[in-house]
Amino acid sequence: METQRVSRPFKDISLSFEPHPVTKDVPILRNENAITRSVRNLVQIIRGEVFFNADKGTNIQNTLFDFVDIASASSVQSEIETTLAKYEPRIENVKVFVDPVEDTNEFNVTVSYDIIGQEFPTQQFSFLLEVTR
Protein backbone atom coordinates (compact mmCIF):
# COMPACT_ATOMS: atom_id res chain seq x y z
CA MET A 1 0.00 0.00 0.00
CA GLU A 2 1.36 3.42 -0.95
CA THR A 3 1.72 5.94 1.87
CA GLN A 4 0.72 9.53 1.39
CA ARG A 5 3.36 12.16 2.15
CA VAL A 6 2.08 15.05 4.20
CA SER A 7 4.05 18.23 4.00
CA ARG A 8 4.67 20.56 6.90
CA PRO A 9 4.14 24.32 6.48
CA PHE A 10 7.06 26.18 4.90
CA LYS A 11 8.35 29.67 5.61
CA ASP A 12 11.00 31.80 3.96
CA ILE A 13 11.95 35.46 4.02
CA SER A 14 11.27 37.71 1.06
CA LEU A 15 14.45 38.56 -0.81
CA SER A 16 13.14 42.03 -1.61
CA PHE A 17 13.87 42.97 2.03
CA GLU A 18 11.23 45.72 1.81
CA PRO A 19 9.82 46.12 5.33
CA HIS A 20 6.19 45.38 6.07
CA PRO A 21 4.32 48.73 6.16
CA VAL A 22 2.88 48.17 9.64
CA THR A 23 5.30 45.93 11.54
CA LYS A 24 8.48 47.10 9.75
CA ASP A 25 9.68 43.47 9.73
CA VAL A 26 11.01 41.67 6.67
CA PRO A 27 8.00 39.97 5.01
CA ILE A 28 7.61 36.21 5.38
CA LEU A 29 6.65 34.00 2.44
CA ARG A 30 4.56 30.99 3.45
CA ASN A 31 3.77 27.60 1.90
CA GLU A 32 3.14 27.81 -1.85
CA ASN A 33 4.66 31.29 -2.11
CA ALA A 34 7.88 30.11 -0.43
CA ILE A 35 8.13 27.08 -2.70
CA THR A 36 7.38 29.13 -5.81
CA ARG A 37 10.14 31.57 -4.85
CA SER A 38 12.52 28.65 -4.32
CA VAL A 39 11.69 27.17 -7.73
CA ARG A 40 12.12 30.56 -9.42
CA ASN A 41 15.46 31.10 -7.66
CA LEU A 42 16.75 27.66 -8.68
CA VAL A 43 15.92 28.37 -12.32
CA GLN A 44 17.50 31.82 -12.30
CA ILE A 45 20.69 31.01 -10.35
CA ILE A 46 23.72 30.58 -12.58
CA ARG A 47 25.62 27.38 -11.87
CA GLY A 48 28.68 28.29 -9.81
CA GLU A 49 27.08 31.34 -8.15
CA VAL A 50 26.28 29.66 -4.84
CA PHE A 51 29.21 29.50 -2.44
CA PHE A 52 30.10 25.99 -1.23
CA ASN A 53 27.61 24.46 -3.68
CA ALA A 54 28.94 25.21 -7.15
CA ASP A 55 26.64 22.65 -8.81
CA LYS A 56 23.41 24.38 -7.69
CA GLY A 57 21.49 26.31 -10.35
CA THR A 58 21.08 26.03 -14.11
CA ASN A 59 23.39 26.45 -17.03
CA ILE A 60 20.80 28.00 -19.35
CA GLN A 61 22.84 31.18 -19.81
CA ASN A 62 25.31 29.24 -21.98
CA THR A 63 22.42 28.09 -24.16
CA LEU A 64 21.37 31.69 -24.74
CA PHE A 65 24.39 32.25 -26.95
CA ASP A 66 23.14 29.61 -29.38
CA PHE A 67 20.52 30.05 -32.04
CA VAL A 68 16.92 30.20 -30.87
CA ASP A 69 15.46 26.98 -32.23
CA ILE A 70 13.81 23.75 -31.14
CA ALA A 71 17.14 22.11 -30.22
CA SER A 72 18.23 24.92 -27.90
CA ALA A 73 14.70 25.05 -26.43
CA SER A 74 14.98 21.35 -25.65
CA SER A 75 18.32 21.96 -23.94
CA VAL A 76 16.83 24.74 -21.77
CA GLN A 77 13.88 22.52 -20.86
CA SER A 78 16.11 19.60 -19.90
CA GLU A 79 18.39 21.82 -17.79
CA ILE A 80 15.46 23.26 -15.81
CA GLU A 81 13.83 19.85 -15.25
CA THR A 82 17.13 18.31 -14.06
CA THR A 83 17.83 21.17 -11.63
CA LEU A 84 14.34 21.08 -10.10
CA ALA A 85 14.41 17.30 -9.74
CA LYS A 86 17.76 17.48 -7.95
CA TYR A 87 17.26 20.48 -5.65
CA GLU A 88 13.54 20.86 -4.92
CA PRO A 89 12.16 17.74 -3.19
CA ARG A 90 8.88 19.47 -2.20
CA ILE A 91 7.45 19.40 -5.74
CA GLU A 92 6.37 16.72 -8.21
CA ASN A 93 4.81 16.44 -11.68
CA VAL A 94 7.15 19.12 -13.00
CA LYS A 95 6.38 20.22 -16.54
CA VAL A 96 8.55 22.73 -18.37
CA PHE A 97 7.40 24.26 -21.64
CA VAL A 98 9.92 26.24 -23.67
CA ASP A 99 8.63 28.06 -26.73
CA PRO A 100 11.33 29.55 -28.97
CA VAL A 101 10.39 32.86 -30.59
CA GLU A 102 12.90 33.05 -33.44
CA ASP A 103 11.85 36.51 -34.68
CA THR A 104 12.81 38.21 -31.42
CA ASN A 105 15.54 35.74 -30.29
CA GLU A 106 13.90 34.78 -27.01
CA PHE A 107 12.30 31.86 -25.21
CA ASN A 108 8.94 31.89 -23.44
CA VAL A 109 9.33 29.48 -20.51
CA THR A 110 6.48 28.13 -18.39
CA VAL A 111 7.10 25.90 -15.37
CA SER A 112 4.21 24.05 -13.70
CA TYR A 113 4.34 21.66 -10.73
CA ASP A 114 2.39 20.21 -7.83
CA ILE A 115 3.40 20.67 -4.19
CA ILE A 116 3.82 17.35 -2.39
CA GLY A 117 1.49 16.78 0.56
CA GLN A 118 -0.48 20.01 0.21
CA GLU A 119 -3.92 20.56 -1.27
CA PHE A 120 -2.91 23.47 -3.48
CA PRO A 121 -3.82 23.66 -7.16
CA THR A 122 -1.06 23.12 -9.69
CA GLN A 123 1.39 26.02 -9.42
CA GLN A 124 2.65 27.73 -12.55
CA PHE A 125 4.86 30.65 -13.47
CA SER A 126 6.22 32.02 -16.72
CA PHE A 127 9.22 34.10 -17.64
CA LEU A 128 11.09 35.30 -20.70
CA LEU A 129 14.66 34.34 -21.58
CA GLU A 130 16.38 36.69 -23.98
CA VAL A 131 19.41 35.75 -26.05
CA THR A 132 22.52 37.76 -25.22
CA ARG A 133 24.71 38.44 -28.23
- Asked whether residue 1 is domain-assigned, the answer is no
CATH code for position 91: 3.10.450.40
- Asked whether residue 3 is domain-assigned, the answer is no
Q: Domain of residue 42: give its range.
A: 11-130
The answer, yes or no, to whether residue 6 has pLDDT greater than 60, is no
- Asked whether residue 5 is domain-assigned, the answer is no
- Asked whether residue 126 is domain-assigned, the answer is yes
Q: Which of 11-15, 19-23, 90-94 has the lowest mean pLDDT?
A: 11-15
- Asked whether residue 2 is domain-assigned, the answer is no
Angstrom distance (rounded) from CA 38 to CA 83: 12
Our count of domains for the chain comes to 1
**What pLDDT score was predicted for residue 28?**
73
Kindly report, residue by residue over 65-116, the tens digit of the pLDDT.
Answer: 667 788 888 889 999 999 999 998 888 999 999 998 888 888 899 999 998 8
- Asked whether residue 32 is domain-assigned, the answer is yes
**How many helices (DSSP H) and strands (DSSP E) are in the chain?**
3, 5
- Asked whether residue 6 is domain-assigned, the answer is no
In Å, the largest CA–CA distance within the chain is: 54
Pairing of strands 11-13, 28-30: antiparallel
**What pLDDT score was predicted for residue 78?**
93
What angle do the packed helices 31-44 and 70-87 form, to 10 degrees?
130
